[in-house]
């Protein structure tokens, strides 16, 4: 006669042969595809979050996933070998030092880097100056010369802007003074 443990182990082997789940641990961000039956139709809804606990008990194995949904923390516990769990995908591996992460309420987890790509990227930082952003007035006139007729047409098409009071013009001058960048010694060379 078979014991319950032997029956459970044979069922686990049968389930594992049908579908493969990746190795994941607490601290990993995982995406669980859950089968949902609505009437006669079946669909898969994904629940993505941090695995905060995993319990290994043969057929009774389960894991808990926590995510933030609309500012509220939502935890859901899944049976690992349940028929409603369709797929499990590891999105990111986390580096943690505990088996149960119940203390994670408003915290994030550092990412564990599994392999190194080995590409060094050098970025050149360029300072923003007036010359970079806006060409000088001499360059503008050389780039787009306009005839007298086209200038008068553009003036006629533009709407008139009301003049601002004298009080507001004084702070604008101060703002313009603050915007002017200091000359760089590299630019003089």
Q: What is the pLDDT of residue 43?
A: 96
Q: What is the pLDDT of residue 44?
A: 96
Give the phi and the psi of residue 41 in degrees, each rounded to 5. -95, 145
DSSP character at residue 39: T
Q: Would you list the domain boundaries of the chain?
A: 4-92
Would you state the CATH architecture of domain 4-92?
Roll (2.30)
169 has pLDDT over 60: no
Mean pLDDT confidence for 154-176: 52
**pLDDT value for 26:** 94
- Residue 12: phi and psi, rounded to 5, are -65, -45
Spatial neighbors of 9 by CB under 8 A, at least 6 apart, are 58, 59
Do the Cβ atoms of 64 and 79 come closer than 8 Å? no
C-alpha to C-alpha distance for 110 and 27, rounded to whole angstroms: 9
């Amino acid at each position: 006669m078979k014991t319950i443990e032997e029956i459970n182990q044979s069922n686990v082997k049968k389930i594992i042969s049908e579908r493969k789940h990746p190795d994941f641990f607490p601290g990993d961000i995982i995406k669980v595809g859950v089968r949902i039956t609505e009437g006669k139709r079946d669909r898969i809804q994904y629940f993505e979050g941090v695995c905060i606990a995993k319990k290994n008990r043969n057929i009774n194995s389960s894991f808990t996933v926590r995510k933030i949904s609309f500012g509220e923390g939502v935890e859901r516990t899944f049976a690992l070998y349940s028929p409603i769990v369709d797929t499990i995908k590891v999105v990111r591996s986390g580096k943690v030092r505990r088996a149960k992460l119940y203390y994670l309420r408003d915290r994030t987890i550092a990412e564990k880097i599994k392999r190194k790509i080995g590409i060094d990227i050098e970025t050149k930082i360029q300072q923003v100056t007036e010359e970079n952003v806006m060409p000088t007035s001499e360059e503008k006139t050389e780039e787009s010369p306009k005839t007298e007729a086209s200038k008068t047409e553009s003036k006629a098409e533009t709407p008139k802007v009301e003049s601002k009071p004298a009080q507001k013009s004084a702070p604008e001058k101060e703002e313009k003074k603050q915007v002017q960048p200091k000359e760089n010694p590299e630019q003089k060379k």
